[in-house]
Amino acid sequence: MLPSRTVKGLSEAIARAQARLLSLQAPDGHWVGELEADTTITAEYLLLGHLMDRVNHRREEKAVRYLRRRQRADGGFDLFPGGPTNLSATIKAYFAMKMAGVPVSDPAMVRARERILEMGGPVKANVFTKIQLALFGEYDWNGVPAMPVEIMLLPQRFFFNLYEVSYWSRTVIVPLLVIMDRKPVKWLPREQSLDELWPEPRERASLRFPRMPKPFSWRGLLWKSFFIAVDDALKIWERFSPRPFRRRALEAARLWLEERLMVTGGLGGIYPAMANSILAMRLLGYPDDHPLMVGQLKEVEALAVENEEELHYQPCPSPVWDTSLAMNALLESGCAPDDPALRRAAEWLLERQVLVPGDWQARRPWVQPGGWAFQYANDFYPDLDDSAMVLMALEKVRGLDADRVRTAKERGLGWFLGMQGADGGWASFDTDNNQLYLNNIPFADHGALLDPSTEDLTGRGLELMGTVGYGRDFEPARRALAFIRRTQRHDGPWFGRWGVNYIYGTWSVFRGLAAIGESFEHEYVQRAVRWLELHQNSDGGWGETCESYDQPGLAGRGPSTPSQTAWALLALLAAGRARTDAVERGIRHLLDTQRPDGGWDDPFWNGTGFPGVFMLQYHLYAKYFPLWALGAFRRALDG
């Protein structure tokens, strides 16, 4: 049917959305929106200030107001709005507020304390929380997993080494190896201790690690039991062995850190790694006024989001990601390819291509650099997702120096193709980083130690290859298609590693399938189409809760959001479903929920750091993804 009712007002809505997005562009051409995380980042920042005796009481008060606002009605703190109370987040917030001077009799503290006790207290918290407590003498270092600094010396052929884990794990682990070797403690006055959080006296509490994997499997149980035994052995070895290589390992860690702290952007470009590096360098003898220390502290402060009343911290900025997505949305919604705003954005991106080696070369020494990072600067860790989005934007924009753009695209595409995994898929930062049994070591209780190939990244790879002119007979495309078919969920959708969740993954895959020329008549594709249409909400939109990572039955279920509605629409439009009732209702939902200023609001969180344990809210998603969907719909009708 011809969706005439929906067409009415479509062009005006697109024009308003374009104007709104363009109004948010920085003078130098880039876009960046807030990347909001849960309260743990802000709580950890406050505790870092106390560890370093660098407390700004005025800013601390503003951070406490932020924590109070984010507290749940049951007294706890969640990992995303609307989610359940998380014990570790609640302990960190309670501790930070107590260190900031909030009395334990304060109603917010009483409610948080009651919730912590109900949930089992510090022994039930995650490993990173236990390390944070141990730094203040509030948890026994013996209850923290053993991570000997000699790990720095393990060769790549060994079953566990630094390059068997993801970049984000690596940048967190290396400074932690120094910290856990020295096991420093900043002892607190008795009135600041956390004795009140222990359901039983801490000297009687068992600090043993849980053996039951979640979700349960016999293989997981065997691996957990094995690694717990290894942990016990390592603790005995650390205590009684002469450890002849310890000094050499500490020096290796120092050199590794120095090399990466010399570049701008902070260690790994992410907050936990930056904070750990500051503490590690202090323990290695670097004074606070050393240029490397000053640089890390400056990068941490650049993550602040502050207004008159509140202060909180982001895990990292997202300028390259936001800019490349904004460009693609504007281009596909009808902006002229040589528009000055798009040319400025492209020039900004060209300046940020990473042309130096990084950690990824440990697995791909023959591949030449050429990718892009997520942040303003992160030369050691460019990523495949950003690189693909940037390359697709550069392929579409016009009016630039042709030779410069061609060279950048050749380098970027060469790097991207060179990073394809042996399984045919693409990961985010590394290649063949897929020894999943390592997620059972006690240190990895967050379940995100690794960076394996994922469906959304592989879909992005297909879309990139199709955008630059390759077809499904291209050998890397054939391998990627096989990965996509192999990893599809039984009822149709694909998992979303970096966005929530199956709606995001399915959008990424469908865009790739359409670009590479895969037939949408295949049964496996039609199964995914049916899944999307069956999960449309009664209001015409789509939504999916972050809880779908822990409860697969919630896949595709949740209140409608602009971003997730846009992803579903972009997927269905890629499948050639423009003239269907489902798409018309989805477009109508976006038109009806658009704000007068041309933007939309995402009421629920839409991004993923670590599935189920670290969720994100990209504040610009609701500005460019709905625009992209409306533009793709108009192109399909015109087409």
- Catalytic residue set: 385
Exposed, middle or buried: residue 58 (CB in 10 Å: 0-12, 13-18, 19+)?
exposed
The C-alpha atoms of residue 210 and residue 250 are separated, in whole angstroms, by 30
The C-alpha atoms of residue 87 and residue 83 are separated, in whole angstroms, by 12
Pairing verdict, β 304-306 and 35-36: unpaired
Contact criterion met (CB below 8 Å) for 426 and 360: no
Nearest Cα to Cα of residue 386 among 412, 404, 365, 405: 412
560: left (phi over 0), alpha (psi -120 to 50) or beta: beta
Joined together, the tokens standing for residue 265 give 């952007």
The C-alpha atoms of residue 124 and residue 209 are separated, in whole angstroms, by 9
Contact criterion met (CB below 8 Å) for 32 and 305: no
The C-alpha atoms of residue 587 and residue 4 are separated, in whole angstroms, by 12
Exposed, middle or buried: residue 427 (CB in 10 Å: 0-12, 13-18, 19+)?
buried
Joined together, the tokens standing for residue 539 give 């209001």
Nearest Cα to Cα of residue 524 among 469, 498, 485: 485
Contact criterion met (CB below 8 Å) for 271 and 41: yes
Count the alpha carbons within 13 Å of 221 in the hemisphere toward its beta carbon.
Answer: 4
The C-alpha atoms of residue 94 and residue 89 are separated, in whole angstroms, by 9
Q: How many C-beta atoms surround the C-beta of residue 203 within 10 A?
A: 7
CA dihedral angle for residue 189, residue 193, residue 196, residue 202, rounded to 10 degrees: -110
Residue type, 327: M
Burial 578-598 (b: 16+ CB within 10 A, else e): bebebbbbbbbbbbebbeeeb
